[in-house]
Structures are given as C-alpha cells and as structure tokens.
C-alpha cells in the first residue's frame, strides 16, 4: 500500500485510499508515516542546497615566513659589496618592515632585496605599502607596511568584479573575507581565474573549500 502512495498525486487522494483499506487507528499511523516521508524529502533537499560548493577569499600573511624573508634579506645585505661600509639594516616590526641606509637610492635597492626574498618564501609582494622615505642628516629611513585582511573597499571591489562577470555564484562579505557559493565547482574555479587576472592590489588566498 505504501508503495502505491508514492505515485499518488495529492493528499486528498492518499486520504481516500487509506480510509478505504484501513481501520481508523491504522489510518492515523499510515498518514503519519506519509507525512514524515514527505517532510524528510523536503529536509534532504534543503540540506543539499545548504551545502553547495563554496570557498572563502582572504588576504593573509604567514608571519613566520615574513620573519624568514626579512632575515634572509638582512643576510644578503651584510654580504653585498655595494653596501660595504654602509650602515644599512632591516627591522621586522609587527605589521611592517623598517629600513635604514645612508642615502635614499640605497632604500630602493633594499626594497628590491626584500621583494626577491618574499617571492622566494612564497609570499606575494602585493602586500607591500611603501611609505615615503624620510631623510634626516646622513640617514635615510623608510617604512614598508605589510597589509593583510580584506578591508571593506577591497571586499566590495572583489564582490563587484565577481558579480559583473556574470558567473553563476553567490557572493557575501563576511568580515575580512568574502564567501563564494555556487552549484558547480567549475563556476568556483572560474571565479578564482577571474581574480587572478584582476587588478586587486592585495595578495589573495582561497581556503575553507566545501564540495
């Protein structure tokens, strides 16, 4: 009987069949089972919709690798012939790197060193925000800020770029990250390819993949 009910068009037809073949007590049990069966199908559909493929867009820095990159730049500085006798140094701060040299053109050379060491450690120099050099007597100083985390303007720019691309995904800003959700994994990969070629001035990473 329950097998037949799967093909019944609506609840009224189910009720009619039940009352024709069962006692009142049996009718209640059967109708309750039918109700539960339909509810479980609805819940299953909602659950499937809820766990659509997704990932998070973030901008993060590995602090340990940043320290390694700065240390390597300092070692190169100490062996460079063109810096022999120059009082130059890199100083690793919490969210920046301070540089000091005798003249400002040496700061430019030091930034190039820092970039090469960041790249070698798998870090993206897009995180750099170079402040203006400060000249004081016989010393030149410069601060390089290390940006991380998506601020609101950057998150909005990413969201707009994805929406303008017409890729069939949903985008939501969640604090310092952007959540991308789509029905197809190919659509998520299309978003990553889009951002790779974009003009977003921050290093981006993708994590928390759900398939």
Q: Are residues 141 and 93 in the same domain?
A: yes
Condensed to tens digits (0 to 9), the pLDDT of residues 89-136 reads 999 999 999 999 999 999 999 999 999 999 999 999 999 999 999 998
* pLDDT for position 3: 38
The pTM of this model reads 0.67
Same domain, 26 and 74: no
**Under 8 Å between Cβ of 114 and 73:** yes
Instruction: Choose the final residue of a domain: 146, 170, 197.
Output: 146
Q: What is the pLDDT of residue 4?
A: 41
Domain that holds residue 7: 2-50
Tell me the pLDDT tens digit for each residue of 67-93: 999 999 999 999 999 999 999 999 999
Give the confidence band of 40 by pLDDT, cuts at 50, 70, 90. low
Instruction: Report how far residue 75's alpha carbon sits from residue 7's, in angstroms, rounded to the nearest whole number.
Output: 77
Largest CA distance in the chain: 103
Mean pLDDT, the chain, whole residue set: 82
**Whether residue 190 sits in one domain with residue 140:** no
For the chain, the domain total comes to 3
Query: 202 and 155 share a domain?
Result: yes
User: Residue 197 to residues 25, 51, 117: CA-CA distances in angstroms?
Assistant: 67, 28, 23
What local confidence, expressed as pLDDT, does residue 6 receive? 44
Is pLDDT at 188 greater than 70 in this prediction?
yes
Q: Which DSSP string corresponds to 35-78?
A: HHHHHHHHHHHHHHHHT--EEEEE----HHHHHHHHHHHHHHHH
Domain match, 67 and 98 both: yes
196 band by pLDDT with thresholds 50, 70 and 90 = confident
pLDDT above 90 for 19: no
| 157 and 132 belong to one structural domain | no
136 and 169 share one domain: no
113 and 173 share one domain:
no
DSSP bridge partners of 89:
100
Which SS3 state, helix, strand or coil, does residue 92 take?
strand
> Is there a single domain that holds both residue 128 and residue 164?
no
Residues 48, 51: Cα–Cα separation, whole Å: 5
What is the per-residue burial (b if ≥16 Cβ within 10 Å, else e) of 18-46?
Answer: beeeeeeeebeebbeebeeeeeeeeeeee
CATH of the domain at 99: 3.30.70.990
Q: What angle, rounded to 10 degrees, do the helices at 63-79 and 104-120 form?
A: 130
**Do residues 165 and 142 share a domain?**
no
Is pLDDT above 70 for 171?
yes
Q: State residue 125's pLDDT score.
A: 92
87 with 133, same domain: the answer is yes
Same domain flag for 181 and 168: yes
CB hemisphere CA count around 59 (13 angstroms): 23
């Amino acid at each position: 009987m329950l097998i037949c009910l799967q093909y019944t068009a609506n609840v009224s037809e189910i009720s009619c069949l039940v009352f024709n073949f069962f006692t009142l007590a049996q009718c209640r049990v059967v109708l309750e089972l039918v109700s539960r069966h339909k509810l479980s199908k609805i819940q299953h559909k909602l659950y499937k919709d809820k766990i659509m493929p997704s990932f998070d867009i973030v901008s993060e820095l590995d602090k340990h690798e940043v320290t390694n990159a700065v240390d390597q730049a300092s070692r190169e500085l100490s062996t460079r012939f063109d810096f022999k006798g120059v009082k130059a140094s890199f100083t690793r701060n919490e969210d920046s790197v301070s540089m000091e040299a005798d003249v400002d053109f040496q700061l430019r050379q030091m930034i190039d060193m820092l970039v090469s060491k960041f790249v070698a450690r798998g870090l993206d120099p897009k995180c750099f925000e170079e402040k203006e050099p400060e000249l004081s007597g016989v010393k030149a100083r410069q601060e390089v800020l290390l940006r991380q985390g998506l601020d609101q303007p950057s998150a909005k720019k990413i969201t707009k770029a994805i929406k303008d691309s017409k890729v069939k995904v949903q985008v939501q800003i969640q604090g310092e990250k952007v959540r991308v959700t789509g029905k197809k994994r190919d659509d998520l990969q299309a978003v990553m390819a889009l951002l790779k070629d974009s003009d977003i001035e921050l290093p981006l990473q993708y994590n928390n993949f759900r398939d």
